[in-house]
Structure 1
Amino acid sequence: MATDELAGVQSVESVQSETTTKRYPVAPGVQLNVRSGPGTGYPVVKVLPTGVSVPINCQCPGTTVAGPYGTSNIWDNIANGQYVSDAYVRTGSDGYVAVRCG
């Protein structure tokens, strides 16, 4: 394969991997705490503004939280060392929608 062709293939693969992580909306009107781990006992590392959508890289069990989308012990990993309660994210499911963190 020619170098130009190979470069084209690599860029297509990187674009595909960037677009495969689905984003989910945070509950309307909510400024959501982002924590360093999957539970309310972990420190808040930042607060998401209202009207955002988040990627879910993986999910894991943690502290049970009641929110606009029910009561859940599922926590969504949205970035390295950043977790939000799934009870505040509209995934369309009461269960896991991504692979388990681990």
Structure 2
Amino acid sequence: MSVEQVAEAEGTDGGEAVTVTADTTAVRYYSVAPGVRLNVRSGPGTGYNIVRVLVEGAKVPIYCQAPGTTVTGPYGTSNIWDNIDNGEYVSDAYVHTGSDGYIAARCG
């Protein structure tokens, strides 16, 4: 079963983070703000290229976080950007982490 299938099987509705275990590594998934199609960028800021767009209702892992462009979104104003995959970042102002600060290690 893939990580995505495990997350769905365990129920990922609502704004709560879900912990998924793949092998021995735990990965937490966080909800993107409701009703938002979120731009995923190649770096931590609005000046970076858009590499894809997340669908409404998406949940994302946060592997590390980096400072970047300040953005205002549903969850406040923040300069924190969440690394959700290799070379893919989203503004933390659009991700429900339950915190206004860093919740993962800094990237790099």
Report the equivalent of 1:15. Answer: 23
Q: Which amino acid aligns with 2:23?
A: V
TM-score by length of 2: 0.79
Counterpart CA distance in 2 for 1:62 and 1:89 is 15
Instruction: Tell me the equivalent position of 2:93.
Output: 87
Unaligned runs of 5+ in 1: 1-13
Q: Distance in 1 between matches of 2:85 and 2:97?
A: 17
* TM-score of the superposed pair, with normalisation by structure 1: 0.84
Identity %: 71
- In proportion to residue count, which structure has more helix? 1
CA distance in 2, matches of 1:96, 1:16: 24
Please, which of 17, 36, 43 is the counterpart of residue 49 of structure 2? 43
Give every structure 1 segment of 4 or more consecutive aligned residues whose post-TM-superposition deviation is greater than 2 Å: none
Residue 34 of structure 1, aligned match among 32, 36, 40: 40
Is the counterpart of residue 67 in structure 1 residue 73 in structure 2? yes
Cα displacement (A) at 1:96: 0.3
What residue ranges of structure 2 are gaps of 5+ in the alignment?
1-21
Cα RMSD over matched residues?
1.2
Deviation string 1:71-99 (CA, Å, 9 cap, x unpaired) is 00000000000000000000000000000
